Amino acid sequence: MKKLLVIGCGGVASVAIQKCCQNSETFQELCIASRTKSKCDALAKKLEGKTKTRITTAQVDADSVPELVERIRRVRPDAVLNVALPYQDLTIMDACLECGVDYIDTANYEPEDTGDPAWRAVYEKRIREKGFSAYFDYSWQWAYHKRFEEAGLTALLGTGFDPGVTSVFVSYAKKHCFDRIDTVDILDCNGGDHGHPFATNFNPEINLREVSAPGSYWEDGRWIEVPAMSIRREYDFPKVGRKDMYLLHHEEIEALAKHYPEIRRIRFFMTFGQSYLTHMKCLENVGMLSTEPVEFQGHRIVPIQFLKALLPDPASLGPRTVGKTNIGCVIKGEKNGRQKTIYIYNVCDHQACYRELGSQAVSYTTGVPAMIGAALVLSGVWKKPGVFTTDEFDPDPYMDMLNQWGLPWVVDEDPAAVE
């Protein structure tokens, strides 16, 4: 009997949980625990009578290690899937260590309070030493490696689409398509239209922090940082069409650069429409993207958190979003002495996701790999002691499960290159 404790019950969690319930052979029991228990209860009710997986629900504040420990001890899961926010990564890892259970997440740690002096000192040192200034990086979670290793536990980090599937695409390419990989361009295209003037497709606070930060990429053994949205390319995405895309910093670059030192350059591009960029610039210019608290009528508020309260809930975009996503990796390298380029990608249709699970494709493309990562850890296929990203395991079972569980992939042997 395998039991998973899922922490968080937002857009991504809803997909991950519904997919776990389609895969009852692996997930015989599931406990959904989150800050707002009524959301867990509503999802459990939606699944009633539709799955063999036994579901329970609970309330938990994942910022509190003692609360988490108490919850994990009561539920007694084999693993914890963290689909709350990156702010809770370290508290949940601490609790997993204390309780002796495996840990899985979809996004690497970043602090909620970027003004915290202790965190800031480490952050500023990292900017000086490494050369990228994103709030998130792997160092905090990689620092847990020894403790997980000594406890005989597995922590699988970043099993969403990007990061997650994109990193598996690279390890698959290395295993099956190349003797040597020279460059990787990770492309994230959302060709969907939700009809709102401005909305984000996953948690607005995390999303806007990410896309408004300076861009950076890895080249010849070092980071190169550039102003936000300053590098633009156009790409003709299969099944979506021509889109403008912009270079961003992204977490899988850091893991791939560490684990595949042969790769000379790794970049990440995301598509944005002009209206999105204009709204974002305006919000940034008036201070609404700030993470620093301000005094307002006797209350301390964080502007970006207030903005989140005003923007549409990403989980509500499902019924109104039409179009497709296309996410993948353009990989260049050498095989048998010959240069070659491939594009490995998945196309996902927003309305098809909505019909299946009531979610839009961004939650779907993240939630399915979260279930796959959890299934591989639970079943022992991806189990080794320590802290790992998805590029550090055999890619084949993961790639098979993508085909099986709703995210089929394609290898184009003659793709357009990215300039």
Assess 12 for contact with ligand NDP (CB under 6 A). Answer: yes
C-beta of 251: minimal distance to ligand NDP in Å? 8
Rounded (5°) CA angle 76-78-82: 95
Assess 63 for contact with ligand NDP (CB under 6 A). Answer: yes
Assess 366 for contact with ligand NDP (CB under 6 A). Answer: yes
> What does each C-alpha distance from 245 to 43, 74, 110, 189, 211 come to in angstroms?
35, 47, 25, 8, 12
Pairing status of strand 215-219 against strand 3-7: unpaired
Site string for ligand NDP, 307-336 (x = CB under 6 A): -------xx---------------------
Virtual torsion, Cα 202, 205, 206, 210, nearest 10 deg:
110
C-beta of 299: minimal distance to ligand NDP in Å? 19
Assess 406 for contact with ligand NDP (CB under 6 A). Answer: no
Size of the site for ligand NDP (CB under 6 A): 33
Site for ligand NDP in 192-251 (CB under 6 A): 202-203, 206
Question: Nearer to ligand NDP by C-beta: 8 or 318?
Answer: 8
Out of 4, 13, 101, 255, point to the residue binding ligand NDP (CB under 6 A): 13
DSSP strand E in 191-337: where?
215-219, 222-226, 232-237, 241-247, 265-271, 294-296, 299-301, 324-335
Task: Quote the CA–CA distance of 260 and 280 in Å, as a whole number.
Answer: 34
Out of 2, 57, 86, 142, point to the residue binding ligand NDP (CB under 6 A): 86
Question: Nearer to ligand NDP by C-beta: 63 or 284?
Answer: 63
Question: Nearer to ligand NDP by C-beta: 108 or 341?
Answer: 108
C-beta of 54: minimal distance to ligand NDP in Å? 21
Out of 34, 141, 167, 325, point to the residue binding ligand NDP (CB under 6 A): 34
Contact between 12 and 35 under an 8 Å Cβ cutoff? The reply is no
C-beta of 142: minimal distance to ligand NDP in Å? 17
What burial class does residue 222 get, using C-beta atoms within 10 Å of its C-beta: 0-12 exposed, 13-18 middle, 19+ buried? exposed
Assess 368 for contact with ligand NDP (CB under 6 A). Answer: no
What burial class does residue 79 get, using C-beta atoms within 10 Å of its C-beta: 0-12 exposed, 13-18 middle, 19+ buried? buried
Task: Quote the CA–CA distance of 166 and 162 in Å, as a whole number.
Answer: 5
Question: Nearer to ligand NDP by C-beta: 53 or 325?
Answer: 325
DSSP string computed for 35-95: SSHHHHHHHHHHHTTT-SSEEEEEE--TT-HHHHHHHHHHH--SEEEE-S-GGGHHHHHHH
Assess 88 for contact with ligand NDP (CB under 6 A). Answer: yes
Give the range of 61-69, 92-100, 217-225, 284-292 binding ligand NDP by CB under 6 A: 61-69
Out of 2, 4, 10, 272, point to the residue binding ligand NDP (CB under 6 A): 10
Maximal CA-CA distance, the chain? 68
Question: Nearer to ligand NDP by C-beta: 52 or 73?
Answer: 73
Site string for ligand NDP, 146-185 (x = CB under 6 A): ------------x-xxxxx---------------------
SS3 of 255, please?
Answer: helix
Out of 83, 93, 211, 357, point to the residue binding ligand NDP (CB under 6 A): 83
Site string for ligand NDP, 95-114 (x = CB under 6 A): -----------xx-------
Pairing status of strand 3-7 against strand 79-82: parallel
Out of 32, 44, 55, 62, point to the residue binding ligand NDP (CB under 6 A): 62
Residue 67: phi and psi, rounded to 5, are -65, -40
Give the range of 50-58, 60-68, 281-289, 385-393 binding ligand NDP by CB under 6 A: 60-68
Assess 9 for contact with ligand NDP (CB under 6 A). Answer: yes
Give me the residue label for tokens 């361009």.
185
Q: Which residues of 35-55 are buried (b: 16+ CB within 10 A; e: fewer)?
A: beeebbeebbeebeeebebeb
> What does each C-alpha distance from 236 to 240, 258, 340 come to in angstroms?
8, 30, 19
SS (H, E, C) 15-33: HHHHHHHHCCCCCCEEEEE
What's the chain's length in residues?
A: 419
Question: Nearer to ligand NDP by C-beta: 178 or 345?
Answer: 345
C-beta of 259: minimal distance to ligand NDP in Å? 17
Per CB under 6 A, residues contacting ligand NDP are: 8-13, 34-36, 39, 60-63, 83-86, 88, 106-107, 158, 160-164, 202-203, 206, 314-315, 366
